[in-house]
C-alpha cells in the first residue's frame, strides 16, 4: 500500500515489525564463502557501457559467445559463469544482453548474499546518459511495478504461514493412507480399486502443487529446508527428480510463452502450432510435422492423457541418470519401492501395474488441464524483451477464485500474481491481486480472469484458431 495510487483509504504507510518481510534467503544452492574480486583495484573507475553495446552480448552472433547482463545499472559478464549458475545455465542466459533487474529480484531471496558472489563478474556500469533499462521499455510501468514490489515486501506478503503448508501436506498423507486402506479393507474388486485410484490420483496432483511451493522457496525462511522438503515431496511422494523440475520451471518463469526460451512451449512445432505469430510463420515456411488444423482434436489424445504416463514417466529417469543426479534418483526410487511393497501383496503384479497406470492417467489429465489453461490461450511468440510486468501479463491469465478452484489448481488460478512474485506463498495471492489489478488499470494492461470451465475450453479454442491460421498460411501465403 506504499504508493498513493495503490493504497486504499485507512491503510497506514508503516507496518509493525512483525509484518515486515522475513529475512531474505538466496534462491539457489548453499555456497562457500565468496572469493574476493580479483579485478577490483583501489581508486579505479568503472567502465561505462551503452545499451547498444550490451545488446550485442547475447551469446549469439557477434561478438561470439559473450554474455552480459545488467542488474541495477551494474554490468556483469556471465560468459564463463553461466554454466555454473546454481539456478541453471539456460535461465540466466535467457537474459543475456538485457536488463535482468526484475527477474533477479523475483527469483533471489537473499540478494545481499548473491551480490557478493556477483562481484567477480562485475565489469562496469551503464554510462550516465543511459537509462536504467532498455529505452524500448515502458519507463513508468517499470517504475510503478518496482514500487509495488516494495509495497509487497513491506506488507509482509512474502512471509509464509507454516500451518497452512503443514495442513496441505497432512491432507496429502491422509489421502495416501486412505487409498491403501480402501483396498486392504474392501478388497480389490472394481469399485474399491477405482476409488483407491481416484484417491491416489488426487495425492499425485496435490503433491505436485505442494512440491511447486517448496521448489519456489515459498515455505521456509531458509532455502536449504525448502530444497530438502522439495526433494521429499517430489521424489518420495511423486517419484520425480527435483533437479528436473528446477531446470524446466525456472526457464518457464523467466520467459513465459517465449519460443526457444520457455520449455513449456517446446511442443511447437513438432506436435502443435502455438500462437498466432508462430503458426503463421510455420505455415509460410510450408512446414507440416502434424495436421495442425486438427490439433484441437488430437490434443485430447496426445495431450492430457499421454503427457505423464507416456513421456514424463520415462524421461525423468533419463534426466536423472544423464545428468548424474544420484541423490534425486535415490529419492525417486523410494517412491517406487514404497508403492511396490504396499500394493503388490494386495493386488498382484498385474493389478499393481494397472493401478499405477490409472493413477498416472488421472494425474496427467489433472496436471495438463490446470497448467495449460493459464498459458496456451495467451500470447506466444519469440522473446521481444519487454518489461517484466508486461512479459508476465501477456503470457498468463487467472481463473476465478473459489475454495474449490484454489484447492483444485493449487492456487495456480492466481497465475498472474504467481508469475509476478514467484516466491510469494500461495495463501497471499488473493491479497496482492487487487494491487496488481490497480496497476493494470492504470497502465491499460489487460488483466484476464475467467471461470474454470471457460479456461479449459479456451485451450481447445486457441488450438483450433492457431491451427486454422497455420492452414491458411500453408495453402495461400
Which is it for the CA torsion 457, 463, 467, 468, positive or negative? positive
Q: What is the total residue count of the chain?
A: 477
Taking 80 as the threshold, does the pLDDT of residue 14 lie above it? Answer: no
What pLDDT, in 10s, does the model give residues 332-355? 999 999 999 999 999 999 999 999
Confidence of residue 211 (pLDDT cuts 50, 70, 90): very high
Residue 82 C-alpha cell reads as 553461466
Q: State the number of CA atoms in the 13 A half-sphere of 124 facing the CB.
A: 13
What pLDDT, in 10s, does the model give residues 131-188? 999 999 999 999 999 999 999 999 999 999 999 999 999 999 999 999 999 999 999 9
- With H, G, I as helix, E, B as strand and everything else as coil, classify residue 204: helix
Helical axes 190-215 vs 326-372, angle rounded to 10° = 100
- 449 burial via Cβ count (<10 Å: 0-12, 13-18, 19+): middle
Taking 80 as the threshold, does the pLDDT of residue 7 lie above it? Answer: no
Which among 374, 377, 382 is positioned nearest to 259, based on CA atoms?
Answer: 382
Work out the angle at residue 41's Cα, subtended by the Cα atoms of residues 39 and 44, and round it to the nearest 5 degrees. 115
Beta strands in 268-381 (DSSP E): none
Taking 70 as the threshold, does the pLDDT of residue 221 lie above it? Answer: yes
pLDDT over 70, % of the chain: 90
What pLDDT, in 10s, does the model give residues 22-37? 434 434 434 444 444 4
Name residues whose C-beta falls within 8 Å of residue 127's C-beta, 6 or more positions apart in sequence. Answer: 48, 49, 50
What pLDDT, in 10s, does the model give residues 468-477? 999 999 999 9
Number of neighbours of residue 321 by Cβ within 10 angstroms = 12
Q: Are 187 and 241 in contact (CB under 8 A)?
A: no
Residue 423 C-alpha cell reads as 516466491
- Arithmetic mean of pLDDT, 109-118: 84
Name residues whose C-beta falls within 8 Å of residue 130's C-beta, 6 or more positions apart in sequence. Answer: 49, 50, 51
Residue with cell 479456461: 455
Name residues whose C-beta falls within 8 Å of residue 154's C-beta, 6 or more positions apart in sequence. Answer: 2, 15, 20, 21
Q: Check residue 115 and give its pLDDT.
A: 85
Confidence of residue 90 (pLDDT cuts 50, 70, 90): very high
Amino acid at each position: 500500500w506504499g504508493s498513493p495510487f495503490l493504497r486504499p483509504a485507512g491503510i497506514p504507510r508503516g507496518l509493525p515489525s512483525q509484518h515486515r518481510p522475513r529475512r531474505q534467503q538466496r534462491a539457489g544452492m548453499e555456497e562457500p564463502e565468496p572469493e574476493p574480486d580479483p579485478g577490483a583495484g583501489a581508486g579505479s573507475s568503472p567502465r561505462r557501457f551503452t545499451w547498444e553495446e550490451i545488446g550485442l552480448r547475447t551469446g549469439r552472433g557477434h561478438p561470439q559467445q559473450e554474455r552480459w547482463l545488467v542488474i541495477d545499472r551494474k554490468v556483469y559478464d556471465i560468459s564463463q559463469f553461466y554454466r555454473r549458475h546454481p539456478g541453471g545455465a539456460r535461465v540466466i542466459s535467457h537474459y543475456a544482453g538485457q536488463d535482468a533487474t526484475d527477474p533477479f529480484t523475483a527469483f533471489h531471496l537473499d540478494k545481499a548474499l548473491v551480490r557478493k558472489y556477483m562481484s567477480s563478474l562485475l565489469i562496469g556500469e551503464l554510462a550516465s546518459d543511459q537509462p536504467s533499462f532498455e529505452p524500448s521499455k515502458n519507463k513508468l510501468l517499470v517504475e510503478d511495478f518496482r514500487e509495488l514490489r516494495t509495497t509487497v515486501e513491506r506488507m509482509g506478503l512474502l512471509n509464509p504461514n507454516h500451518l497452512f503448508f503443514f495442513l496441505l501436506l497432512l491432507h496429502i498423507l491422509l489421502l495416501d493412507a486412505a487409498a491403501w486402506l480402501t483396498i486392504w479393507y474392501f478388497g480389490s474388486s472394481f469399485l474399491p480399486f477405482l476409488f483407491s485410484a481416484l484417491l491416489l490420483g488426487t495425492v499425485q496432483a496435490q503433491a505436485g502443487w505442494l512440491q511447486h511451493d517448496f521448489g519456489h522457496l515459498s515455505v521456509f525462511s531458509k532455502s536449504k529446508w525448502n530444497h530438502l522438503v522439495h526433494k521429499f515431496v517430489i521424489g518420495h511422494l511423486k517419484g520425480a527428480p527435483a533437479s528436473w523440475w528446477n531446470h524446466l520451471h525456472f526457464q518457464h518463469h523467466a520467459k513465459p510463452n517465449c519460443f526457444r526460451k520457455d520449455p513449456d512451449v517446446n511442443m511447437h512445432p513438432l506436435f502443435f502450432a502455438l500462437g498466432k505469430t508462430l503458426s503463421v510463420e510455420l505455415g509460410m515456411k510450408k512446414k507440416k510435422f502434424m495436421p495442425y488444423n486438427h490439433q484441437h482434436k488430437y490434443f485430447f489424445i496426445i495431450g492430457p492423457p499421454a503427457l505423464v504416463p507416456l513421456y514424463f514417466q520415462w524421461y525423468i529417469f533419463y534426466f536423472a541418470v544423464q545428468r548424474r543426479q544420484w541423490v534425486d534418483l535415490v529419492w525417486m526410487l523410494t517412491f517406487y519401492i514404497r508403492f511396490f511393497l504396499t500394493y503388490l501383496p494386495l493386488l498382484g503384479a498385474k493389478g499393481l501395474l494397472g493401478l499405477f497406470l490409472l493413477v498416472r492417467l488421472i494425474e496427467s489429465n489433472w496436471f495438463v488441464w490446470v497448467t495449460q489453461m493459464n498459458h496456451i490461450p495467451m500470447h506466444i511468440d519469440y522473446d521481444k524483451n519487454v518489461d517484466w510486468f508486461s512479459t508476465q501479463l501477456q503470457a498468463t491469465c487467472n481463473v476465478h477464485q473459489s475454495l474449490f478452484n484454489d484447492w483444485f489448481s493449487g492456487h495456480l488460478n492466481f497465475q498472474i500474481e504467481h508469475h509476478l512474485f514467484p516466491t510469494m506463498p500461495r495463501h497471499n495471492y488473493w491479497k496482492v491481486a487487487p494491487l496488481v489489478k490497480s496497476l493494470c488499470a492504470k497502465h491499460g494492461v489487460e488483466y484476464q480472469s475467467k471461470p474454470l470451465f471457460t479456461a479449459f475450453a479456451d485451450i481447445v479454442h486457441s488450438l483450433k484458431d492457431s491451427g486454422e491460421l497455420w492452414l491458411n498460411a500453408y495453402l495461400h501465403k
